[in-house]
Chain A
Amino acid sequence: RKEVEQDPGPFNVPEGATVAFNCTYSNSASQSFFWYRQDCRKEPKLLMSVYSSGNEDGRFTAQLNRASQYISLLIRDSKLSDSATYLCVVSTGTASKLTFGTGTRLQVTL
């Protein structure tokens, strides 16, 4: 079983739609959680950290469920510019060890 698992997609959604991605992790000792965004052939960029209480940043909402060991990302009112691959990232608590999922691809269309 992979340490971090994501549905690879692609998720094809129309502009304005709401879309949600889930990610599961296997290491119960994981302490820090992130969503990164990666555009084709470019570097991953931190989208948001995920906190136990859940957190929101504009149209993006992240949730963490420690009991079930999954993380979610909700994107509301999708824009064409949201088209990218979204990487779920988990850390055991030190920056030395980040484990990346293989990513979920989102394509937003007109």
Chain B
Amino acid sequence: EAQVTQNPRYLITVTGKKLTVTCSQNMNHEYMSWYRQDPGLGLRQIYYSMNVEVTDKGDVPEGYKVSRKEKRNFPLILESPSPNQTSLYFCASSLMSGNYGYTFGSGTRLTVV
């Protein structure tokens, strides 16, 4: 089944403790992206990647890192999480530019205390 898989689904952590949210897709998509969703603000792009070893900042990259060493994986790294990074995170992938939309993972609900 074609899908984007994120892990974990839920995570509660403490301020400053490094964490990684994994994202993997099995559709051979070039484009992958991370979004966060907050009430009243909609989905905002954190980082995106157009292919292996090609990544760029989205609208809200501060406090996050990403890497794209393999085409299928695009992990999101929070080196020192803070409470304002409490949010619902989605990974998404797309086959090519623009016209096909994105396939989203099931989301990761992160709480930083």
Q: Which residues of A contact B (CB under 8 A)?
A: 31-32, 34, 36, 41-46, 49, 87, 89, 91-98, 100-103
Contacts and interface: CB of A to CB of B under 8 A. Distances in A.
Contact of A41 (B88, B96, B97, B105): B88
A85 B95 CA distance: 25
Contacts of A41: 88, 107, 109
A32 B102 CA distance: 12
A100 B92 CA distance: 13
Contacts of B95: 95
B31 interface: yes
Contacts of B35: 100
Contact of A93 (B43, B97, B104): B97
A95 B104 CA distance: 13
B43 A100 contact: yes
Greatest chain B CB density within 10 A among A41, A97, A101 is at A97
B85 interface: no
A101 B42 contact: yes
B45 to A, nearest CB: 7
B34 to A, nearest CB: 12
Interface of B: 30-31, 33, 35, 40-45, 48, 50, 56, 58, 88, 90, 94-107, 109
A46 B42 CA distance: 16
Given A43-B104, A43-B105, A44-B104, A93 B98 contact: yes
B42 A96 contact: no
A92 B99 CA distance: 10
Contact of B90 (A44, A93, A96, A103): A44
Nearest to A96: B48
A95 B107 contact: no
B107 A42 contact: yes
Nearest to A47: B101
A43 B96 contact: no
